[in-house]
Amino acid sequence: MKKQVLITGGAGFIGSHLANELLKNGYKVRVLDNLLEQVHGENGERPAYLPKDAELITGDVRNRAAIRNALEGVDVVYHFAARVGVGQSMYELQEYTEVNNTGTAVLLEALIENPVEKLVVASSMSIYGEGLYQDASGKHQEAPCRKKEQLKQADWEVHNAKGEKLSPVATPESKTPDLASVYALSKYDQERMCLMVGNAYNIPVVALRFFNAYGPYQALSNPYTGVLAIFASRFLNNKPPLIFEDGQQIRDFVSVYDIARACRLAMETPEAAGEVFNIGSGKSYTIQEVAEKMAVVLGKKYIKPEITGKYRVGDIRHCYADISKAKEILGYTPSYSLEEGIQELAGWLQDQIAEDKVADAKEELEARGLTV
């Protein structure tokens, strides 16, 4: 008999790709999503990209009745419902806390009454704060957050207590969390709450710390979505991508197809229960480098990124994934290079129209004193 899977937030970018991955592999899929306007637009209609064979229940994860209804007959739950956005989380504190923290609590209370075979929760690389670093001797160090006084002087790099510049290395799951934004705090709360309650009530739980996801169907008109989607929105409107600091900050970009496959493996691998995994590409790129790659592929090479020379509160300097644990236990190996992924993304973008709200979001942050 096919397993029935519920994906909360499943009409979103990653959730819809996971729905497709699960359906292709013989699972039945139900989606619970509130079709938030910031992500899905004013009409609140079922997204055209959501697979037709996925059942959609329109409802909020904070609503107990909606959760109970969605859980009926379900064997496995993927908990993806969350407000997403580092900058926005620093002024919409109540909204982020209610959706991400309280919504998770409502789901878990329902699962205590009606346990499932497995719960997979979407966590985030943002919980690390700064990634792992090493000093000149090669010794690994967990770096402190950069201070505003340093950033006001446009000193963007990370230094140790002696003032020596540190170099980034791949960040493993063992790195101590350092929560630099309300969003990061809420994602860590989601992760730990699920693992804690799962352990107490014998519900196998897996937490996946996603790095910077990209691919088709990402909300182009949401200025708080993924980096590549934000850049794409600017390019489609013939405007330069806005890049904070000096553009040399390092991130790990992972195809949404690889993320979807990792999510399926987390469900299918018994040894994954109780564990936390980084899901990234294991490769590092500067933000400026990615913007320039996208410009070339989209035929917008003449549009140069605008380096703002400003810091956004909640941002970190460098972080990319050590994925050795996911490789060993889940059998996860990324299939898409960034170059391949951008090429495919460009094909999808040809038919898209994006309302560019990036400048508005930047002004909002500036007005609230959230940029330096």
- Active-site residues, by number, are 183
Asked if 100 and 88 count as a contact pair (C-beta separation under 8 A), the reply is: no
Tally Cβ neighbours within 10 Å of residue 107.
28
The first and second tokens of residue 68, run together, are: 């109970």
Q: What does each C-alpha distance from 244 to 151, 182, 293, 333 come to in angstroms? A: 12, 19, 17, 31
Distance CA 289, CA 249 (A): 10
**Exposed e or buried b for every residue in 1-37, given b needs 16+ CB within 10 A?**
eebbbbbbbbbbbbbbbbbbbbbeeebbbbbbbbbbe
Tokens 């209804």, located at residue: 69
Distance CA 24, CA 272 (A): 22
Count of positions (residues) in the chain: 372
3-state secondary structure of 269: coil
Distance CA 342, CA 297 (A): 7
Helix (H) or strand (E) holding 41: none
Q: What does each C-alpha distance from 310 to 20, 89, 222, 291, 306 come to in angstroms? A: 39, 19, 21, 17, 11
- Sign, Cα dihedral of 193, 9, 103, 281: positive
